[in-house]
Amino acid sequence: MNRLIAILLLALFGIGYSWAQDPADTSRSLTSVIDSGTLPQDTSRFRTDSTQEQQLEKKKELTRSKPPTVDGFRVQIYAGNSRQQAMQIRTEVAVAYTDYAAYLIYKQPTFRVRVGDFKSRFEAQELLRELKEQYPSSFIVPDEVLVNPVLAPKPIETIEDAERKDP
């Protein structure tokens, strides 16, 4: 009895499933498709409009222009709410340590100043020892660093150039 019910349910499910299928091209029969050896080409599902194509091209261009990065370490020397102070410290470090890139990072509500692009913690230790004298609260943080630090942008902004004032 249970087998009979199971077989009937499977048969009903199969029939319902086959009825739910909607052929893409109803003008051609299945036999004509098989005989000709070609499948109907329904390209309407694969059309993209020009804005999507422009967005894809823009994303590809941004990906190409962004320098490659890896997981690594930097030395964080400042974290606080003052943008002006963070910019001043970043400028001081960029002038004093020209071999290393200095980054001003904003993660709401804190400004952070980080220095260097190191692939290992051991490499960052040397810079940390030097910076500890002037910035005692410095420490090493894991971060996404540039593969080739020579390509690191090293713009030096002065505080007078800042358009935005601290809140």
Q: How far apart are the C-alpha atoms of 104 and 94, rounded to whole Å?
A: 11
Amino acid letter, residue 152 = A
Burial class of residue 83 in the structure, from the number of CB atoms within 10 Å of its CB (0-12 exposed, 13-18 middle, 19+ buried): middle
pTM as predicted: 0.54
pLDDT tens-digit series, residues 30-82: 555 555 555 555 555 556 677 888 888 887 777 777 777 889 999 999 999 99
Name, in order, each residue with C-beta under 8 angstroms of 153's C-beta and a sequence gap of 6 or more: 101
Distance CA 137, CA 35 (A): 79
Mean pLDDT of 73-96: 94
Per-residue tokens: 35: 């005989």
List the chain domain ranges: 69-149
Q: Give the model's pLDDT for residue 162.
A: 44
CA gap 82, 109 in Å, rounded? 10
- Which pLDDT belongs to residue 159? 43
Main-chain dihedrals φ then ψ at residue 70, nearest 5 degrees: -140, 165
Cα angle 74, 77, 81 (rounded to 5 degrees) comes to 115
pLDDT of residue 57: 84
pLDDT of residue 9: 77
DSSP state of 138: -
* CATH superfamily for domain 69-149: Sporulation related repeat (3.30.70.1070)
Average pLDDT over residues 8-36: 61
pLDDT tens sequence across 28-37? 555 555 555 5
